[in-house]
């Protein structure tokens, strides 16, 4: 049974993330979003983050060649999950969005 209020798109989207890691160092990194909905997203990055931290994401949304939009998203980290490949899975709740 799905717990989410909004449906998730389970497709990899290229993105760039700006945030501060768990030890307080600002970073910017290119990554891929694993899934996204109107209210949240899940991505993997090489940096550990604390729950509650702010995060900014620019994601390229595309349906094919020549059809592209950029979404600027701001949110808060809900959880941080260490992955077997030494990256971190970051669950984010989206608080603000703009489409360009």
Encode the chain (100 residues) as per-residue pLDDT tens digits: 556 567 889 989 999 999 999 999 999 999 999 999 999 999 999 999 999 999 999 999 886 777 889 999 999 999 999 999 999 999 999 999 999 8
Distance CA 65, CA 67 (A): 6
| pTM as predicted | 0.88
Distance CA 37, CA 85 (A): 25
């Amino acid at each position: 049974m799905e717990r989410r209020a909004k449906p998730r798109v389970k497709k990899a989207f290229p993105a760039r993330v700006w945030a501060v890691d768990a030890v307080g160092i600002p970073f910017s990194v290119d990554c891929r979003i694993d899934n996204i909905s109107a209210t949240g997203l899940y991505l993997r990055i090489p940096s550990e983050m604390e729950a509650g931290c702010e995060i900014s994401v620019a994601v390229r949304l595309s349906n094919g060649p020549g059809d592209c939009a950029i979404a600027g998203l701001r949110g808060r980290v809900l959880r941080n999950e260490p992955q077997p490949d030494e990256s971190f899975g970051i669950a984010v709740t989206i608080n603000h969005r703009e489409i360009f």
